[in-house]
Structure 1
Amino acid sequence: MMRNRALSCLLTMLLIATADSTQNTVVRLEMAHRDTLSPTAFRRIEDIIGEDKKRHTMISQKRKTKGGFKMPLGSGVDYGAAQYFTEVSVGTPAKKFRVVVDTGSELTWVNCRFHGKGKEKVENRSVFRAEESSSFRKVGCLTQTCKVDLMNLFSLSSCPTPSTPCSYDYRYADGSTAQGVFARETFTVNLTNGRKRRLRNLIGCSNSFTGESFRGADGVLGLAFSDYSFTSRAVDLFGGRFSYCLVDHLSHKNVSNYLIFGSSPTSTKTTAAARTAPLNLDLIPPFYAIDIVGISLGDKMLDIPAQVWDGTAGGGTILDSGTSLTFLADAAYTIVVEALERSLVGFKRVKPEGVPIEYCFSSTSGFDESKLPQLTFHFKGGARFEPHRRSYLVDTAPGVKCLGFVSAGTPATNVVGNIMQQNYLWQFDTLASTLSFAPSTCV
């Protein structure tokens, strides 16, 4: 969940290994999408586009050890959310929490009770009782960490006694909020060699949180590229790389893949050779900026002004797992939608109630998506990303499809959202500053 410039820095993740392991393994976290628990998966489009727009506003304002581990990763459709979930094990003894996977934020936190403060389990959510964990250590409000290191992470200035913990009041761009205290705690991860490993981290113990962003979740796993995110320390310890494969966003919770930290090859099967493109980690921090230079439809390159892709002039593009739809600056949005519209002549335009997407049409009368020209994102250096057609023709109601693009304004950061990324394997190499990707079933 991203936020404005004043909210740009989040929680420091100080991952310190507490067990020796130099095996050539990777850590994998299973990951799932969270789109709707309601009777229909389509009603969530109205909610997610509002969340996406607020998130995009904030984006536009913000400018070693070998081996690894894995986490389960899957769609949140069964939990009523439009993002992807994984599970993390926190504390001693370890307790599992279902968290949103967010490459656009730095804060990692869980639903937590500390000194009796915080909500008990509600809405099928788990609660972490800090005082029952032998490894929980609060960060004091008078410490250097609180007063200096976490100053831009919304640590609060109030400090009535030296023993008072360092508190935060974090507000996301879509209006969601999380309040709590910073603490050092242990994460237990599963290595791919079958062993477990404990990592010491600085996380957020949130005793209060509100907002649709956390629908069905116990917290957030912040994966932005920053000294304060889970990613930076995890890749430092496990080889500089992480990867994920996003299953179809309407998949149920029994369908999943993995979020993997580590350099060992993944077992995920791809249907074509991987392509590699530059990953610009310094251009729009803390986001993962990619060097898109154009978009084509079929064999025709669309006439989009070059400044749309210029990250030094207010444009540029990021890849974000926490935004569902894909945002394009006005100059690109208009051209892309008009080009796709010409390919949809003959299909009735419709306006589904509560769906704030500009172009929707009836797909009940002989629509064949395979006849729609292939949309392609062109990277600097020649790599091409060809999303699946269902990734830019989004099902929003029975018999209704919409173009999965949102106008971002001018100037604006372009955002490739998680629906556009689905059924691709993505590998981020933070040492080489490269992004590799290949189509995959993710199962």
Structure 2
Amino acid sequence: MMKKMEYSPAGFSILLLLLSTCFLLLNVGAATNYSSPCSSDFPLDDHPHLHRRNKRSGGFVLTLNHAHGPCSPINVTSSGATILLHDVNRVDHLTSRLTSSDSRTHLHHHRLDVSSNGVQVPLKSGASLGVGNYVTQIGLGTPTKDYTMVVDTGSSLTWLQCKPCTVSCYEQIGEVFDPKGSATYKSTKCSEPECTNLQKATLNPSACSKLNNCIYEASYGDSSFSVGYLGKDTLSIQKKTVMSEFVYGCGQDNEGLFGKSAGLIGLAKNKLSMLGQISKTYGESFSYCLPTKSSSGYLSLGDSSTSSSKYTYTPMITDSQDDSLYFVKLVGITVARKSVSITASSYSSASTIIDSGTVITRLPSVIFSALNDSVVASLSKYPRAPAYSILETCFKGSYKSLPVPPVSLIFDGKAEMKLSPQNVFYDLTSKSITCLAFAKSASVGIIGNQQQQTFSVAYDVGRSRIGFAAGGCS
């Protein structure tokens, strides 16, 4: 017969402590096996086409994170109103590049050691023009050090803040790059072709220092800019050397809220962009999946990153006003599998840009109205909310509580983006509302990153085509 066990108060406390310890150890084990959506390395094994390319062609894949989400190294928090304000500035800036030939004449060089007198213009600290949406990490210098950078398909020149910050540096996460601490850093002289090519890359004239060093200016609107010296150094990805003399801007006067990143990676169509510089080795193409705020995506550079059969492609169009941007031809929109009521000429008369830095997709007024009317008709039984900023059509609650109709964007060549509800609506949790994630544009259409989220988007510049594939980040 089993003897009944008795415990003293002290013995009972010890038993509780032992049980608690066992419980914690079990949970630690569970946490160890838990796969967090936030990862420093994108899971290549889940994406065979990227894994094969990474091994065979010597290319590389970087992890992308949303700057405003918990996965971001900089973890910037911004209100919906602030994000939309920056988005308006971003779109105004892109539009001005297509409508004005002299919109970029800021000439902030004079704040550095310029050989001739610069034009004196009033300067003020500016707001971020939406460039802080997605970030990744690259390595520069010898020994290599990693820096968190914004990824931007609308910019050509790559730059980052550099010591000694002769004029101004904004607050960034991590150490500011010190060219004197790199054994492989070289200044670019004014006579070198990279300096000559600067104006086409930045749409601003270059300048020359008294020591004959090339000075660049990269501006992103009325008052957000980086000015500094053009340099060359070793570019590394995940400790692997990608290019020994990568050309980039070493910023000495950096003003604007660039999301606490170290700088910006330019992926536009230009000789000086990162794509242009590495194309001889890896090919003239790249792909990415822009993740939601709570997960991670990827940026893959190299020809094989765009060769997967999963993509449906549309021709890439060149615009004479700015041939560095990525244009496509939008030919149709369907809502609930029915084409919206609009003439074909309304599509053909408008240029459409694919852009990583714009949040909300812009459509010319006629196209937007047709889309908006169709979505509103599908959700007529659900309570509306007042318009918010540039977002005209809003409902109470979250998109998850609405039977959002299927929406598809159709491009020339039958390429199609079948949008999920989270691509169609934009939740403003602080206001407990959700809004149609499209806005009016006077002329130019822009496919923003809200619509691109979780799609693999392939920029095959060598073959002049852009491809789309759903489920790219999962």
Offset, 1:273: 4.0
What residue in structure 2 maps to residue 343 of structure 1?
378
Q: Is the 8 A contact 2:154 2:267 kept in 1?
A: yes
Q: Is the 8 A contact 2:361 2:447 kept in 1?
A: yes
SS across alignment from 2:233: strand
Q: How does 1:384-403 map to 2 (within 5 A)?
A: 384-398=416-430, 399-403=432-436
Q: 93-102 or 238-247, which moves further after superposition?
A: 238-247
Q: Say if 1:387 and 1:93 are closer, same or farther in 2 by CA, change over 3 A.
A: same
What residue in structure 2 maps to residue 185 of structure 1?
233
Q: Say if 1:26 and 1:43 are closer, same or farther in 2 by CA, change over 3 A.
A: closer
Q: Does 1:424 align with 2:444?
A: no
SS across alignment from 2:304: coil
What residue in structure 2 maps to residue 206 of structure 1?
251
Q: Larger C-alpha radius of gyration, 1 or 2?
A: 2
What residue in structure 2 maps to residue 95 of structure 1?
145
Q: Is the 8 A contact 2:131 2:357 kept in 1?
A: no
Q: Distance in 2 between matches of 1:277 and 1:419?
A: 20
Q: Distance in 2 between matches of 1:180 and 1:383?
A: 41
- Of 208, 214, 230, 1:166 maps to 214
Q: Say if 1:199 and 1:308 are closer, same or farther in 2 by CA, change over 3 A.
A: farther
Q: Is the 8 A contact 1:327 1:406 kept in 2?
A: yes
Offset, 1:117: 2.3
Q: Distance in 1 between matches of 2:297 and 2:372?
A: 32
Q: Does 1:259 align with 2:292?
A: no
Q: Say if 1:307 and 1:60 are closer, same or farther in 2 by CA, change over 3 A.
A: farther
Q: Distance in 1 between matches of 2:83 and 2:347?
A: 25
Q: Distance in 1 between matches of 2:462 and 2:193?
A: 29
Q: Distance in 2 between matches of 1:28 and 1:126?
A: 24
What residue in structure 1 maps to residue 314 of structure 2?
277
One-letter identity of the residue aligned with 1:237: T
Offset, 1:158: 5.1
What residue in structure 2 maps to residue 404 of structure 1?
437
Q: How far does the alpha carbon of each residue in 1:67-116 deviate from its partner, in whole angstroms, 9 at most, with x for none?
A: xxxxxxxxxxxxx98611011111111111111110111121011115x6
Q: 86-95 or 431-440, which moves further after superposition?
A: 431-440
Offset, 1:145: 4.3
What residue in structure 2 maps to residue 292 of structure 1?
330
Q: Distance in 1 between matches of 2:346 and 2:270?
A: 25
Q: Distance in 1 between matches of 2:263 and 2:85?
A: 20
Q: Does 1:222 align with 2:259?
A: no
What residue in structure 2 maps to residue 13 of structure 1?
none
Q: Distance in 2 between matches of 1:232 and 1:322?
A: 19
One-letter identity of the residue aligned with 1:309: Y
Q: In angstroms, what is the RMSD of aligned CA positions?
A: 3.2
Q: Distance in 2 between matches of 1:121 and 1:112?
A: 11
Q: How far does the alpha carbon of each residue in 1:275-311 deviate from its partner, in whole angstroms, 9 at most, with x for none?
A: 222222456511111121111111221123434433x
Q: Distance in 2 between matches of 1:380 and 1:395?
A: 30
Aligned residue pairs, count: 383
Q: How far does the alpha carbon of each residue in 1:301-328 deviate from its partner, in whole angstroms, 9 at most, with x for none?
A: 1123434433xx5x21111001111111
Q: Is the 8 A contact 2:337 2:407 kept in 1?
A: no
SS across alignment from 1:280: coil
What percent of counterpart residues are identical?
26
TM-score (norm 2): 0.73
Q: Distance in 2 between matches of 1:26 and 1:123?
A: 29
What residue in structure 2 maps to residue 381 of structure 1?
413
Q: Does 1:231 align with 2:280?
A: no
Which of the two has greater helix per residue? 2
Q: Is the 8 A contact 1:155 1:166 kept in 2?
A: no
What residue in structure 2 maps to residue 132 of structure 1?
181
What residue in structure 2 maps to residue 68 of structure 1?
none
Q: How far does the alpha carbon of each residue in 1:127-159 deviate from its partner, in whole angstroms, 9 at most, with x for none?
A: 00111111111122455543x322443344354
Offset, 1:367: 6.3
Offset, 1:400: 1.2
What residue in structure 2 maps to residue 110 of structure 1?
160
Q: How far does the alpha carbon of each residue in 1:394-430 deviate from its partner, in whole angstroms, 9 at most, with x for none?
A: 1112531011112111xx2111111110011112211
One-letter identity of the residue aligned with 1:52: D
Q: How far does the alpha carbon of each residue in 1:235-275 deviate from its partner, in whole angstroms, 9 at most, with x for none?
A: 33213321111111x22xxx3232111233599xx9x9432
Q: 196-205 or 295-304, which moves further after superposition?
A: 196-205
Q: Distance in 1 between matches of 2:328 and 2:455?
A: 16
TM-score (norm 1): 0.78
Q: Is the 8 A contact 1:327 1:405 kept in 2?
A: yes
Q: Distance in 2 between matches of 1:260 and 1:307?
A: 36
One-letter identity of the residue aligned with 1:183: G
In structure 2, stretches of 5+ residues that fail to align are 1-53, 99-129
One-letter identity of the residue aligned with 2:273: S
Q: Is the 8 A contact 2:161 2:169 kept in 1?
A: no
SS across alignment from 1:124: coil
What residue in structure 1 maps to residue 57 of structure 2?
24
Offset, 1:391: 1.1
